[in-house]
Amino acid sequence: MHSPSAECMNEALASTARRKREKREEKGKEEGGKKEEEEEGEEEKKKKMRRGGERGKEEKEGEQGEENGEGEKGLMFRCSANCCEDSQASMQQVHQCIDRCHAPLAQAQALVTNELEKFQDRLARCTMHCNDKAKDSMDAGNKELQVKQQLDSCVAKCVDDHMNLIPTMTKRMKESLSSIGK
């Protein structure tokens, strides 16, 4: 027989898996979810303020973990574990607490996914424009070799132009990510 704490941690892990599934299902419903995540973020801020001194310790541990990319996940799991410590909470309250713990990481994942999708869409539109120009050139009677060279040149320009957008996109993502959970 499992202890209540072990059951709670199993539930926290199951909740993580559930949130990942839900995120995939809700991909098209981001606008409604953003408002809910903001509300959950506000509740998380209040909870962190109540925990007081624990936050300073978590931030220090989080900074150490950020060096290897584990900072936010570590905070999320510690927060989930704290939810399980409340022996007075109902199972529903524990679920809600765990969901609030997972919200900042889910929001960060959604933000990065959205930025990368927009970048890929722009690059795809650019290369489609190159393909259209190549088809038009072929229809105009230009030789295949010449059209291929024009297509290669156009696609290379798309790639170069979009490579130049990466630093700005990265900066924008970092700024947005730094505001999550604060």
Is the pLDDT at 40 greater than 60? The verdict is no
pLDDT in tens, 44-98: 544 444 443 343 444 444 444 444 446 777 888 888 888 988 889 899 999 999 9
Q: Which of 27-41, 54-68, 147-161 has the highest mean pLDDT?
A: 147-161
Which band of pLDDT confidence, cut at 50, 70 and 90, is reported for residue 116? very high
As a whole number of angstroms, the distance between CA 93 and CA 109 comes to 25
As a whole number of angstroms, the distance between CA 80 and CA 22 comes to 18
Mean of the per-residue pLDDT values of the chain: 76
Which band of pLDDT confidence, cut at 50, 70 and 90, is reported for residue 43? low
Burial 1-13 (b: 16+ CB within 10 A, else e): eeeeeeebbebbe
Listed by start position, the domains of the chain span 4-179
Q: Give the per-residue pLDDT at 13.
A: 59
Write down the pTM of the prediction: 0.55
